[in-house]
Amino acid sequence: MSDDVLGAIVATARVIGALVLLFFLPGFLLINALYPRKGELDREYDALYRVTLGIVLSIAVTVFWSFFLNSLGINEATGLGYVVGPNIAGGLIGLSAAFFVLGWWRGAYPWMARVHPALARVPKPGPGELLTEDERDHRVRLKLQQLAEKREALRRAIKDAERRMRLQSADAQSHYETLRDKSRAELRSVEAELKKLEEERAAELY
């Protein structure tokens, strides 16, 4: 690939990235942070509303960020204003990251659970609203996954305590015996909760 073609590809990618950053990304992420539940804006055209409002809000965020930079006056080191490309891009990227984190915290991105279970968040229902069937099922599956992971961790803790009991002195053995018994009691509680959730889910499905 020639340098001219590579340069053209890089330039095109930069233009597309700049357009997405200026006219879509910040506003779209802000809308998701404000309205995290799917169907909250409109039951039928929710995605269209999010895209449209995201474009409008992105323009507004860009304008307000530029006003903020302009209010800083003149950079004494360079003698130039702060409203320059790198400052605008850096601010919009930072705002987009903040909006994304806020949206994730409010449960706008349930797919984050596939990245790591600890990142799973489910949006809370609004006043007087009920969770949809998909949201309820997602909550149950998430709870089952968390309990299953906790059960495996407790089983490993029990095995580790039993192994250490065989290797330690009599005084230390009593300590690990206490840890083992405590883990066993917690394991029974977790298994009981797992069984209850599985029975409730099976009853809903059938």
- Domain assignment of residue 140, yes or no: yes
- Domain assignment of residue 119, yes or no: no
Give the pair of three-digit tokens for residue 184. Answer: 């066993």
If asked whether residues 104 and 13 sit together in one domain, one would say: yes
Q: What is the DSSP letter of 198?
A: H
If asked whether residues 143 and 103 sit together in one domain, one would say: no
Q: For residue 101, what pLDDT is reported?
A: 95
Number of domains composing the chain: 2
Give the pair of three-digit tokens for residue 165. Answer: 């009991």
Residue 27 has pLDDT above 90, yes or no: yes
Which residues 6+ apart lie within 8 Å of 102 measured at CB?
33
Query: From residue 158, how far is each of 152, 174, 178, 179 by CA, in Å?
Result: 10, 14, 10, 8
The domain of 93 spans 3-108
- Domain assignment of residue 148, yes or no: yes
Phi/psi at 181 (5° precision): -65, -40
Q: For residue 41, what pLDDT is reported?
A: 84
pTM attached to this predicted model: 0.60
Q: In this predicted model, what pLDDT tens digit does every residue of 142-164 receive, in sequence order?
A: 777 777 888 888 888 888 888 88
If asked whether residues 103 and 15 sit together in one domain, one would say: yes
Average pLDDT, the chain: 80
Give the pair of three-digit tokens for residue 173. Answer: 């053995």
From 17, 11, 22, 111, select the one nearest 66 (Cα to Cα): 22
- Quickly state the pLDDT bin for 128 (edges 50, 70, 90): very low
- Domain assignment of residue 138, yes or no: yes
- Quickly state the pLDDT bin for 77 (edges 50, 70, 90): low
If asked whether residues 87 and 139 sit together in one domain, one would say: no
If asked whether residues 95 and 168 sit together in one domain, one would say: no
If asked whether residues 47 and 100 sit together in one domain, one would say: yes
